[in-house]
Amino acid sequence: MKLRDQVAIVTAAAGAGIGQAIVRRFAAEGAHVVISDAHAKRPLTLAEELSREHGREFLGLQVDATDQAQVERMVQMTVEKYGRVDILVNNAGINKLAPAWEMSAETWDFVIRTNLYSTFYCTRAVLPHMVQQRSGKIVSLASVAGWIGSSDGEAHYCAAKAAVMGYTRAVAAEVGKYGIRVNAIAPGLIYNEFLRRIYPDDMFKSVEKRTPLGRVGKPEDIANLALFLVSDEASFITGEVMCCSGGLYMHA
């Protein structure tokens, strides 16, 4: 029970991928998890399921993480219910493939706002509470694409994820004196069914062949790393971007 009675907010938390895996991992370790998702029903359904499973109440909220007012209300509701916020996981993200020379301003804005602005809004909203309590842990989801780029029409996505890395380091430097740790995770390809709507089938096979561990990642792989980063076992780690790609990219 590494997170017993700690209060965690996870964004984009009720889908089939990384967010839900993190929620379930944190819940199993004793955390009170606020399940935030833009979908109307999924966070409520997941909260009800986990409440029955663990015998304590989980809070599910429909929140657009790119909306400042909704984010601030989510944090306010969390503090009103639990009295504090110990952990934030910025997981909200999206991609929409388009060649750089054909990309519309609307597509650029959509991907940048979802991946980067959501991280800024949520981080900004929790920090005053963490500063006041002199403790807190923030983990943001970046991507190896922020380091290595992409030839698949992901210039906006690569730009956003690189910005998340820089933002992580800067915030960590600012708030370390308050006992707050800020890190990021840069996954390689982490499989979930939604990705089939974005990428062609042969891409998954190609990545498997190029990955030293011989497979694409699972959401649970990222959830385990997120748990480590918010646990006391990582108490001297901040400002880091941790690569988790099965060796696809060996970051130095």
Taking the C-alpha atoms of residue 83 and residue 165, their distance in angstroms, rounded to an integer, is 30
Question: Terminal CA-to-CA distance of the chain, rounded, Å?
Answer: 32
User: Which CATH number goes with the domain that contains 162?
Assistant: 3.40.50.720
Consecutive sets of 10 residues in the chain, 252 residues long: mean pLDDT of each? 97 95 98 97 97 96 98 98 98 93 97 98 98 98 94 93 98 98 96 74 85 94 98 98 96 78
Would you say residue 168 lies in a domain?
yes
| Burial group, residue 220, by CB count within 10 angstroms (0-12, 13-18, 19+) | middle
Q: What is the pLDDT of residue 150?
A: 87
Q: What is the pTM of this model?
A: 0.95
Q: Which of 121, 157, 167, 191 is catalytic?
A: 157
Would you say residue 229 lies in a domain?
yes
Q: What is the pLDDT of residue 206?
A: 87
Would you say residue 205 lies in a domain?
yes
The string of DSSP codes covering 27-48 is HHTT-EEEEEESSSSHHHHHHH
Is residue 157 part of the annotated active site? The answer reads yes
Total structural domains in the chain?
A: 1
> Could you tell me if 56 and 32 are in contact, meaning their C-beta atoms sit under 8 angstroms apart?
yes
Would you say residue 130 lies in a domain?
yes
Residue type, position 221, single letter: D
Give residue 100's domain range: 7-242
Would you say residue 249 lies in a domain?
no
Would you say residue 248 lies in a domain?
no
Would you say residue 2 lies in a domain?
no
Would you say residue 250 lies in a domain?
no
Taking the C-alpha atoms of residue 249 and residue 251, their distance in angstroms, rounded to an integer, is 6
Find the length of the chain. 252
**What order do you get walking across the sheet with 180-187 strand by strand?**
59-62, 32-37, 7-10, 87-90, 136-141, 180-187, 241-244
